[in-house]
Chains A and B, each alone.
Chain A
Amino acid sequence: MDTIIEMRGITKEFPGIRANDKVTLQVKKGEIHALLGENGAGKSTLMSVLFGMYEPEEGEIFLRGQKARISGPKTANDLGIGMVHQHFKLVHNFTVLQNIILGDETTKFGFLKMEQACKKVVALSERYGLKVEPDALISDITVGMQQRVEILKMLYRENEILIFDEPTAVLTPQEITELMQIMRELIKEGKSILFITHKLEEIMAVADRCTVLRLGKCVGTVDVKDVTVEKLSEMMVGRKVDLVVHKDPKTPKNCVLQVEGLMMKTRGSTKEKLKDISFEVKAGEIVCIAGVDGNGQSELIYALTGLMVPDSGKILLKGEDITRRSIRYRNTHGISHIPEDRHKYGLVLDYTLAENLVLQQYFEPRFSTAGFLRKREINAYAKTLVEQFDIRTGAGISTKARSMSGGNQQKAIAGREIARNPELLLAVQPTRGLDVGAIEYMHRQIVRARDNDKAVLVVSFELSEVMNLADRILVMFDGQIVANVKPSEVTENELGLYMAGAKGGTRK
């Protein structure tokens, strides 16, 4: 096979950081080449260089053996490079067809000529089994379909080299399988694929070769068939990582959280986001809510934490009705919450670490007298948390949260919430955006909370996380709980079907 892309000795520096350090990447024509690395390893930077968004300080790019200078996405496009971004670049109130031709319209005397384009799109869609409806509005189709529109955009422009930036993050397991099928089809037609990810199973499933980046440097390129998942993760993290969550069996004790018939509409909409939700969480058990994003998980957490008030139904915490209690009341009566969006809810980014660590407690007598903050106590408390949860920062407890790394921000939130010694720990996507090492850490903390007889409710979109972590799994689909199962009684595939709404009915 010929080499289609060769990036030689690429070095890209940003003030204070060397994001890519003499990285070399070779992609052969007609292969699926995975680019693996932790967050911050330099994958995105490297792809941005290839896509012409950054100019490297050193290094050369060869396309089909020819030296190329890529000055911007437009040039990249002309050279046959296309990219599916992690966050799709689609116009929501345009149709599929309009989105595909956007920027490359077929015109006659300045008027749009759509018929030809439509034919081409339909033909492409059939050829690769994409099953896309050209006249559907983007806002009406699923995320998986939107991704296919992005793929069609590249095909329409007859791109040879397709870059997929973490394409599976937003998909259900079934959609992931289908995407992989599509990727294989594309290869058969002679396209070359660069597949960016930090999920090891996907690489094992679909990629031919894999280049691993760590700390901006190229660790090596391997043939996927010659390596194991363990080997890959070791290359990625630089040490051996335990991929399995270790936990001993434990019998749940008394009921801590009880939810009865919760119904809720979103503000200004008549659509029920939560439809008659009932479940319970006991002390000493981890209940995971699985499901595709947007099926009511966020609303459920809002109702539990008090950020939104449900229309009907009851929330009982240790038998006490807290449905209409304030957020502060819940915070001080045993609910801890690791929020989904740590920048929006979890932290005041312009506050120091110390100030953030007492975000729900600053008013307690321990930290304030007569309305004045007791800075010394706050700092002392912050220091113990930093020790205990191994939060690493540039300037200790007076570091601004904004300048901490994502992993340490998450550690700070988790530490704060767990240290408050709650009865009920709510964790929404606790490992989102974290790398393997940090995930391992988060899981251990969650299991420890459960071992200390806390009730734990985790919302996660990652099936492997759900299967690994949960003592019991609830699946949410379209605002309802469609399954209530133990991980030992169910396969990932079955869960996927529940998540897609293909398998319904509550089992108790």
Chain B
Amino acid sequence: MRDQKGLIKVLAAPDISKASGAISSAAAIAVGLIFGFIIMLISDPQQAWAGFKMILTGGLSTPKDFGNVLYYATPIIMTGLSVAFAFRTSLFNIGASGQFIMGAYGAVLVGVKMTSLGQVQWFVALLTAMIFGAVWAILPGVLNAFFNVNVVISCIMLNYIGMYTVNMLVKATVFHQYTNRSLPVADTANIPKMGLDKIFPESNASGGIIVAIIAAIIIAIILNKTTFGYELKACGFNRDAAKYAGINEKKNIILAMIIAGALAGIGGGLLYLSGTGIYISVVDTLASQGFDGISVALLGMSNPIGALFAGIFIAYITVGGLQMQLVGFVSEIINIITAVIIYCAAFSLVIRNFIADRRTHKLNMKIENEPKSPPAGDSKGGGKV
């Protein structure tokens, strides 16, 4: 629980200028890549450089490859946005996985059944995905707002409940017996290519990435420009002060969860409507995209635009990792690299906040010309400043 608090503190307070934030994320990425390279050197010194080059350039080697990068990035950008958005209200939405799969089911259900909708079927399917995801996030929001139940706990439970519910629903409604998975969706339910198939021929890229970009921009606007975003962030930073200011913090917590759930739900919809022959398999595994969202949010410093680039980056090295198998490396090395990057990103956030604190502190000292006893180890704590 303590770790989680720390994480939230780190994520909920991206108290840094955008430039220095990008620099530290870049540094984290560099360290992660170097670490990965060292592992490759140890496992196969001859091929290490060739493999490493593939990680770095694989995603860009052909237009098709970059199209696939966008394809892989789309769902994790959405779950990343979901996690990042909830973080800003200091809620740790670890339930993106459950919301994601619920959204996926909603999309597939409409995609298979409502063929009469014609050209707008994909849009209705996506809306359904959004609603399913949002509904799945209401419960943790309500439990937290009214009964102070930690969202982490309720979300983890709902991940499993969501997974098994979807398994059951798929079997009951859109099941293909022999393959043990959902039925294929109608062609009109697939997200339109929106010209991306021309730019990135033969790739899996679709209009989904455009939806994700639009979602990131909308979330950025909500957070930074609107009174609603102001309220959400106030609740995230300091619930008591938000209450004191007359902000209905319960409403905001629930709304934040609903929006986070909607984003994850759209992510599920976008993946399963991408027209790449992907189906909901009836297996007892949680959707990994929900957890990738946590990495994306962290690397993107819970900034919506940051999440966009972080999602693309992680997809990029994933594609490179797949190609790396050509020279005999296992693609799991990419998981190691990602993990190191996330650690470094989290760690650099802590350090940067510390430095930023010190710097402003010093600046204040100069302005006011009154030294203060330092916060660390000061037995007096917050009461006396």
Contact = CB atoms under 8 A, between A and B. Distances in A.
Contacts of A17: 361-362, 365, 371-372, 374
A174 to B, nearest CB: 24
A359 B248 CA distance: 13
Contacts of A359: 234, 241, 244-245
A28 interface: no
A327 interface: yes
Given A16-B358, A17-B361, A17-B372, A347 B241 contact: yes
A406 B233 CA distance: 23
Chain A interface size, as a band, is 35 or more
A44 interface: yes
Contacts, number: 159
Contacts of A330: 246
A40 B371 contact: yes
Contacts of A405: 364, 368, 370, 372, 385
Contact of B385 (A39, A332, A395): A39
Contacts of B237: 348-351
B377 A48 contact: yes
Interface in A348-362: 348-351, 355, 359-360, 362
B336 interface: no
Interface in B328-385: 357-374, 376-385
Contacts of A433: 383-385
Interface stretch (A252-260, A312-320, A396-404): A396-404
Nearest to A435: B370
A268 interface: no
B378 A44 contact: yes
Nearest to A361: B245
A397 to B, nearest CB: 13
Interface in B11-52: 12-13, 15
Interface in A53-70: 53-54
Given A350-B13, A394-B364, A339 B228 contact: no
B226 interface: yes
A402 B374 contact: no
Given A40-B370, A42-B373, A403 B246 contact: no
Contacts of A371: 226-228
A480 interface: no
B369 A403 contact: no
A363 B358 contact: no
A307 interface: yes
B368 A362 contact: no
Contacts of B381: 87
Contacts of B233: 348, 351
From A16, A393, A406, A408, name the one whose CB has the most chain B CB atoms within 10 angstroms: A16
Given A87-B379, A395-B363, A351 B371 contact: no
Nearest to A344: B240
B276 interface: no
B238 interface: yes
Given A349-B238, A404-B364, A405-B385, A337 B370 contact: no
Nearest to B225: A372
A346 interface: yes
Contacts of A402: 15, 357
B230 interface: yes
B113 interface: no
B5 interface: no
A53 B377 contact: yes
Contacts of A42: 371, 373
Interface of A: 14-19, 38-40, 42-45, 48, 53-54, 85-87, 165, 215-216, 305, 307, 326-332, 337, 339, 343-351, 355, 359-360, 362-363, 368, 371-373, 392-395, 399-400, 402-406, 408-409, 432-433
26 contacts: A15-B362, A19-B372, A39-B384, A40-B370, A40-B372, A44-B378, A45-B373, A48-B378, A87-B379, A87-B380, A215-B369, A327-B245, A330-B246, A337-B244, A344-B240, A348-B238, A348-B241, A350-B15, A351-B237, A372-B226, A373-B230, A393-B367, A395-B360, A399-B364, A400-B360, A404-B364
Given A348-B241, A399-B364, A402-B357, 14 more contacts: A15-B358, A15-B362, A16-B361, A40-B372, A45-B374, A327-B244, A372-B225, A373-B226, A395-B363, A403-B357, A403-B363, A405-B368, A408-B368, A433-B383
